[in-house]
Amino acid sequence: MTMSLPSTQDIVDDLAFFDDWEQRYQYIIDLGKSIHGLPEDAKTPDKLVKGCQSSVWLESRVENGLVTFSVDSDAVIVQGLLALVMAAYNNKTPKQILDFDIDEYFTELDLERHITPTRGNGLRAIVAKIQELARRSIN
């Protein structure tokens, strides 16, 4: 899947530009809408990462040494957060994926509390799944 997402640095700069949280969240929601989700029939249980607050589906392929993803969530803010994650991971090599400091990125975005292990939105689990996938394709 091709996603026309800004780079992570652009996102960090864009979000820093807004002075209130509403604009920031609106930006995140819009970013989520800009990535295509999964068709309903592709949302199979094996792709489901279940959080107790919302559910997330993840599909991945490796082509020409690059990992590409399709993601979907039933919640629009989670979809937006997924877009932030995708900006970091989509169409990257496994090494680039493993080298990327996602916690630092979310801290820069001032969104670190959305990616704590305790958060029930499945985001942390998605990140773990992506990193595991990258690790396996290297070995």
In sequence order, the β-bridge partners of residue 67 are 62, 92
Q: 15 in helix, strand or coil?
A: helix
Please tell me what DSSP assigns to residue 114. Answer: G
Tokens (6 digits) for 34: 């800009």
Q: Does the footprint of another protein cover residue 76 (CB under 8 A)?
A: yes
Catalytic residue of the set 41, 52, 63, 118: 52
Tokens (6 digits) for 43: 């949302």
Residue 82 C-beta: closest distance to another protein, Å: 13
Count of residues interacting with another protein (CB under 8 A): 16
The footprint of another protein on residues 1-60 (CB under 8 A) is: 21-22, 25-26, 29, 52-55
Closest CB to another protein among residues 16, 98: 16
Is residue 26 among the annotated active site residues?
no
- Choosing from 121, 127, 130, 134, the residue that interacts with another protein (CB under 8 A) is 121
Strands (E), 2-125: 48-50, 55-63, 66-73
Q: 123 in helix, strand or coil?
A: helix
Residue 14 C-beta: closest distance to another protein, Å: 18
